[in-house]
């Protein structure tokens, strides 16, 4: 048990999928896990442990933004021994060829700042995904007839961004999408010797202004969860 996670020793699996929304954690657990059991609801942040094809897995919310994710990822790794963390979340497309509902596998995550910046100081650390997870996710997507985009994303520390010039530069440099958590997740995994990956679904687009409604999001997110699970537990 930690300050933010009320789970007991043994309640949390070695592999954790992390959506930002705690209600999405509940939805994913009910939809994809066998015998899911709620193991945390402290401060409304829900976590569930069950099995997928015989493999024990936990699905736990991270909250919005790198500061919130940093709390949960740190405690999951340091206090519960989690070795594999896969973010499953939404993102905003930034390239013309990236469409709504597309799946993005984040190879790298650029950021202006992260909670870890105070530790790294002057170093511009390059957060990246675990290669074995990335390759497995790409294979899992292909097996499902899904062509994911694989490349760099941008982790913003603000939701209501007022830097159109920065967005233009991100697009110019090939950044596929923007979200708010991955750069810190990859940095923490590197620091603690864990594996991490972000599997994202494009829910809106910065260039076109398009956005999925809630029903369409739920349907589209199923592919993302299946890819994440298959990447964590390849045949």
- Which residue intervals of the chain are DSSP H helices? 22-32, 66-80, 117-120, 131-143, 164-172, 182-192, 214-232
43 is annotated as contributing to ligand binding = yes
Q: Which residues are catalytically annotated?
A: 204
203 is annotated as contributing to ligand binding = yes
Of 146, 200, 203, 156, residue with least CA distance to 178: 156
Contact (CB, 8 A) for 25 and 46: yes
226 is annotated as contributing to ligand binding = no
Tokens matching residue 133: 């997870």
204 is annotated as contributing to ligand binding = yes
24 is annotated as contributing to ligand binding = yes
Helices and strands in the chain: count of H runs, count of E runs: 7, 9
87 is annotated as contributing to ligand binding = yes
181 is annotated as contributing to ligand binding = yes
234/95 Cα distance (integer angstroms): 30
Please state, as a whole number, how many other Cβ atoms lie within 10 Å of the Cβ of residue 9. 9
78 is annotated as contributing to ligand binding = no
18 is annotated as contributing to ligand binding = no
Contact (CB, 8 A) for 195 and 83: yes
Partner residues linked to 230 by β-bridges: none
Distance of CA 80 to the CA centre of its chain: 19
90 is annotated as contributing to ligand binding = yes
Binding site members: 4, 20, 24, 43, 87-90, 179-181, 203-204
Binding site members for a purine D-ribonucleoside: 4, 179-181, 203-204
Binding site members for phosphate: 20, 24, 43, 87-90
């Amino acid at each position: 048990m930690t300050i933010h996670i009320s789970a007991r020793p043994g309640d949390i699996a070695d592999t954790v999928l992390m959506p930002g929304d705690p209600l999405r954690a509940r939805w994913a657990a009910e939809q994809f896990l066998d015998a899911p059991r709620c193991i945390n609801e402290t401060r409304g942040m829900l976590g569930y442990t069950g099995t997928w094809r015989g493999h024990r897995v936990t699905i736990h919310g991270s909250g919005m933004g790198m500061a919130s994710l940093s709390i949960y990822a740190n405690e999951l790794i340091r206090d519960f021994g989690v070795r594999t963390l896969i973010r499953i979340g939404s993102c905003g497309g930034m390239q013309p060829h990236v469409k709504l509902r597309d799946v993005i596998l984040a190879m790298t995550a650029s950021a202006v700042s992260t909670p870890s910046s105070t530790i790294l100081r002057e170093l511009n650390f390059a957060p990246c995904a675990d290669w074995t997870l990335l390759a497995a996710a790409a294979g899992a997507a292909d097996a499902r007839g899904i062509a994911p985009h694989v490349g760099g994303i941008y982790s913003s520390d603000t939701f209501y961004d007022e830097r159109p010039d920065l967005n233009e530069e991100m697009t110019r440099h090939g950044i596929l999408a923007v979200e708010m958590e991955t750069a810190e997740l990859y940095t923490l995994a590197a620091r603690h010797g864990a594996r991490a990956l972000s599997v994202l679904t494009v829910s809106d687009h910065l260039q076109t202004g398009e956005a999925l409604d809630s029903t369409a999001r739920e349907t589209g997110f199923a592919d993302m969860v299946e890819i994440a699970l298959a990447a964590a537990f390849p045949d």
